[in-house]
Chain A
Amino acid sequence: MARSVTTARKTANTIVAGALGLLMFFPVLWIIILSFKTEGDAIKAPLEILFNTGWTTESYGTVQARSNYFKHFSNSLIISLGSTFLGILIAVPAAWAMAFVPAKRTKDVLMWMLSTKMLPPVGVLVPIYLIFRDLGLLDTRTGLVFVLMMINLPIIVWMLYTYFREIPGEILEAARMDGASLREEVIYVLLPMAIPGMASTVLLNIILAWNEAFWTLNLTAAKAAPLTAFIASYSSPEGLFYAKLSAASVMAIAPILIMGWFSQKQLVRGLTFGAVK
């Protein structure tokens, strides 16, 4: 439907939207600003910081010298990619079964899986911690890959389930009639048709795993610590740490922010997939 929108109205909308966007982005912006200040400047009043202090990369130097950024970075990378890959491997058959051969209780199973996300993670911290200790998984990347895969699995299954449901069953039946085995049906027909959805699922899960802090902080010490632990190590009960903490934060979120920026079209398309035909 075409509606006439006056220029004044358009301008007003743009201003409101811009203001809201700025409001949401402001904390991140503030961290970026603080990371370029000295520790002394970083605790001053906000307006003073903005207009009355100089710029410096001193904090980045300190952070770089004090900890091994690349170790944390590679830990984060391995953990988020590994847990996503493993999760997809498990979720594809699960979502296939739920979408194409649903049973009476399939909906309940899905709800139950989602309900695990409503549980406060700290509720299962002790058992998981003990299991990890007994299996020797504490402070290992393998352990983190597993735990992050499991906490994100419900989301992966849900997303894939929704995408698979959009694929007409007759096309899969056609593949079966054409002589495809189950494996061939999935590889040659289902997955290529689900690529947009798969891509957003993968991206979203990499982001979730990258940002996950509760388990990564509680189950690691030094060896397997990812970037979240790297940030946390700069918060201390005494002394000045705002600038260094900000610098560490910027270094930790920059890669995922850049990835998110480049893939935002894909993400939005995938997340609204099926909403409009």
Chain B
Amino acid sequence: MGHIRLTGVKKCFGDVMVIPPLDLEIEDGEFVVFVGPSGCGKSTLLRLIAGLEDVTEGVVEIDGIEATSLPPAKRRLAMVFQSYALYPHMSVRKNIAFPMKMARIPQDEQERRITDAARVLNLTDYLDRRPGQLSGGQRQRVAIGRAIVREPSAFLFDEPLSNLDAALRVGMRLEISELHKRLATTMVYVTHDQVEAMTMADQIVVLHAGRIEQVGSPLELYREPSNLFVAGFIGSPKMNLIAGPVAAKYNAHTIGIRPEHIDVSANSGLWSGTIGVSEHLGSDTFFRVNIHGLDEPLTVRTDGEIGLRYGDTIHLTPNPDHLHRFDAQAARLA
């Protein structure tokens, strides 16, 4: 079980409305990622689900039961914090056991679950250490261990990987995804890293200034962003957005084309320009191209070996099947 439904949920801090009324439904077993720029209200939304903040208006339902005014302890949710929030005065074993102690689970059952969790999370050798004696990655594992032993109806993660270095982050990302496959428990995951969002999510919720811009699978968001914000936010490098007369030719206020959907040629094409900065990643090369008649340079992707370099003239043709059109209100045109 782990079905979460928000209806008309609104949150104000004093006079400031951080989250205007929104509706959201999270299905049982889904991996849902909240993504958006810093300060858009991702953590606040997660904390509203957790019960760590009170909603100003609206209804929170968990597994069909109204939970709006239930304290966090009664919601059967587990949370992993960005700061890990381990109990510094307890050993790893006691940290992991704490939620079970609170739930008054019998001692031998506690032992069994700790052993299991420690094996899965590679913590067996560290059970008697204090959190202060662990590395960042190990602390993160303890926090996850503490969350899984209770067998909650959903997991809430608030940017759990942002304190880890890049290599560790990729590893932990896979571990969390695997955990989700194995447990099949609902997970709500907050991040501002759209790569994390794309790689882990079943459903992505794109937030912007407290509003839900779009909800969909990673591919839906990639293929059919419903507005300019999502178009610019999802995808790396960013989608090229072109306004003005060029867009008007396509009957749109703004058109968008991803770097990987532009054909590059040395001889002929729809647009021509000169190559500026280039980034070689081995498999791919990204060029910044200054197009004649456009203010902003475009980013294009080509495969690694192409005999063009800085200052060369280049011709570009957008792939019409992957061209996105937006109206003056920034909404997608069909």
Contact = CB atoms under 8 A, between A and B. Distances in A.
B72 A173 contact: yes
Contacts of B78: 177-178
A188 B98 contact: yes
A108 B331 CA distance: 50
Contact of B89 (A173, A177, A178, A193): A193
Given A170-B85, A173-B72, A184 B79 contact: no
Contact of A168 (B77, B85, B102, B146): B85
Contact of B73 (A171, A176, A188, A192): A176
Contacts of A179: 73, 99, 102-103, 150
A19 to B, nearest CB: 42
Interface string B62-96: 00000000011100011101010111110000000
Contacts of B89: 192-193
A177 B73 contact: yes
A174 interface: yes
A180 interface: yes
A176 B99 contact: no
A13 interface: no
Contacts, number: 58
B102 A171 contact: no
Interface residues of B, number: 22
Query: In terms of DSSP, what is the predominant structure of the interface of chain A?
Result: helix
A181 interface: yes
A202 to B, nearest CB: 18
B72 A170 contact: no
Given A168-B83, A170-B81, A188-B98, A177 B88 contact: no
A189 interface: yes
A1 B52 CA distance: 43
A169 to B, nearest CB: 9
A178 B146 contact: yes
Contacts of A173: 52, 72, 79, 81, 85
8 contacts: A173-B79, A174-B79, A174-B146, A176-B51, A176-B73, A177-B79, A179-B99, A180-B98
Listed from nearest, the 3 A-B pairs whose CB atoms lie closest are: A179-B102, A178-B99, A174-B85
Given A173-B72, A189-B87, 19 more contacts: A168-B83, A168-B85, A170-B85, A171-B88, A174-B81, A174-B85, A174-B86, A174-B87, A175-B98, A176-B51, A177-B73, A177-B79, A178-B78, A179-B99, A179-B103, A179-B150, A180-B73, A180-B98, A193-B88
